[in-house]
A and B are shown apart, each in its own frame.
Chain A
Amino acid sequence: EVQLVQSGGGSVQPGGSLRMSCATSEFRFSDYWMTWVRQAPGKGLEWVANINKDGSEKHYVDSVKGRFTIYRDNAKNSLHLQMNSLRVEDTALYYCARYVAMDVWGQGTPVTVSS
């Protein structure tokens, strides 16, 4: 079964920074767009960002533009989300997913932004 393994995240005060990562060794990583999705506590799913196969094209939801950066390292089969200027409303469980249409998901990594 194809797996995505997430790491990073954690707790931070408003204005702080965190980085999350997502890795796999079970498919040809460089052949796929990759996506980040989040889910605030008790809420629905929200698409956050995605990145094309070689990292040259990136898209973000408006609420994170200028604060979050998605990037990838195809040599290490890894995807990352650098989150700066974090806000309380960024508190959520963050998932990485394969492909624009999200066929495989990571296990989720919690991010808590609180003073």
Chain B
Amino acid sequence: DVQVTQSPSSLSASVGDRVTITCRASQDIRSDLGWYQQKPGKVPKRLISAASSLQSGVPSRFSGSGSGTEFTLTISSLQPEDLATYYCLQYNTYPITFGQGTRLEIK
């Protein structure tokens, strides 16, 4: 199985900060990785697919990068509405696996 290690598990940042979340895969998954945002009590929402393709309607402050085994989600300027848990997902190899999640708090 492909292990996906997401870090940090939680972080607290201020409005306007640049925030980075990382996912590392245990083997090469090319660019078969997505990023999801889940606000409290809400349905997950896809932000990014194929490691770096921004979903239509998602603010441009969100970006994704990486390929192979190391991937990054960046929020360039944190906004209050970005309070959420963020997950990465590898869909290259079965079983499909999510990262453990990063709980993002606003200071």
Q: A residues touching B (Cβ–Cβ < 8 Å)? A: 35, 37, 44-47, 50, 59, 61-62, 95, 100-103, 105-108
The complex places the Cα of A44 from the Cα of B38 at a distance, in Å, of 10
Interface mask (B83-98 → A, CB under 8 Å = 1, otherwise 0): 0010101010011111
Enumerate the 4 nearest inter-chain pairs by beta-carbon distance, A residue then B residue, closest first: A47-B96, A45-B98, A44-B101, A105-B43
Residue of B nearest to A33 (CB): B91
Asked if B94 and A105 sit within 8 Å, CB to CB, the answer is no
Q: B residues touching A (Cβ–Cβ < 8 Å)? A: 32, 34, 36, 38, 43-46, 49-50, 55, 85, 87, 89, 91, 94-101
Residue of B36, B50, B55 with most partner-chain A CB within 10 A: B36
A101 surroundings in chain B (CB, below 8 A) = 32, 34, 46, 49-50, 89, 91
Asked if A45 and B36 sit within 8 Å, CB to CB, the answer is yes
Asked if B96 and A105 sit within 8 Å, CB to CB, the answer is no
Asked if A59 and B36 sit within 8 Å, CB to CB, the answer is no
Asked if A102 and B95 sit within 8 Å, CB to CB, the answer is no
Asked if A59 and B43 sit within 8 Å, CB to CB, the answer is no
